[in-house]
Amino acid sequence: MAKRGGLGRGLGALLGETAGEVHDQYQDSAITELPLASIQPNPNQPRKRFDQEELQSLADSIRQNGLLQPIVVRPRSGGYQIVAGERRWQAAGIVGMERVPVVIREVSDDEVLQLALIENLQREDLDPLEEAAAYATLINQHHISQTELANVLCKSRSAISNTLRLLDLPQEVQDFVRDGKLSAGHARAILAVSGEEGRCALARKVVDEGLSVRQTEILGPLFSVKSQNVPAQRTPAPQSYKSAARRLRDSLSAKVSVKTVRGKHKIEIEFGDEQELDRLVERILGGTDERS
């Protein structure tokens, strides 16, 4: 059995606190200044997209009031790496600040991810897929269960599980979620559809028609049926088959079909009972005898 890595003191200590309280823990730490160019972002930052309008708004505030809250960094590769505060770092770059206030902390690789996740979750800055990817990273890196993660995040296990399931969506649907065209509720309703084709088709309909989550839930079963029970297209019978069947029907006074089944050509003659069968046999053999 693999040894569980645990979530470390960083996550356990910070979860459940407000975003302000997360940064309050650094108030007693020495604040210094560093060149902005010496600081690099965290490559494992859970948040992959930053709204440019929000960044510009923050930059305008920094330009007017200064950077009031220090960026938390750790020593890394001859420079420093952001632990918390990448939005402020980016906005400071927009303003053109050469030096920024920082708190330097010794933080492990594990705690960097944990603290970055906490900061974004508390600010509600992650889109649903970024949150799902962060959960998956924590579970895989720390060898913990969904239940254990739910306990330290103060969430239900079903909430963790439902969020992780978003990673099962086709890429096209994930793109809709990332672009804000589909909510997490829409995405969960689409997951009820079996098959990638059905999920993509329903997602397109929801986006094109601006459907609600409830409408998406109602439509889900219909798209599952479509994706599972699409009948195989039949090759139309040649005109000569139809002509032959018509002539046989007229000659035998019975229902006749000429068709191809699994690569084999067949003539089918229907009859109602033994008396009808005898009549057909006599008709067929009698016609043969007359011609011989």
The sign one gets for the Cα dihedral 216, 218, 223, 224 is positive
Picking from 21-35, 205-219, 236-250, which range would have the lowest pLDDT averaged per residue?
21-35
pTM for this predicted structure: 0.48
The closest alpha carbon to 254, from 271, 242, 267, belongs to 271
DSSP 3-state of 101: strand
Per-residue pLDDT for 288 more than 80? no
Picking from 45-59, 158-172, 238-252, which range would have the lowest pLDDT averaged per residue?
45-59
Give me the amino acid identity at 40: Q
The closest alpha carbon to 276, from 252, 257, 256, 260, belongs to 252
The closest alpha carbon to 178, from 138, 131, 136, belongs to 131
Burial class for 253, CB neighbours closer than 10 Å (0-12, 13-18, 19+)? exposed
Q: Known catalytic residues? A: 86
Spatial separation of the C-alpha atoms in residues 172 and 180, rounded to whole Å: 13
pLDDT tens track for 185-199: 999 999 999 888 999
Which tokens hold the place of 146?
């969904």
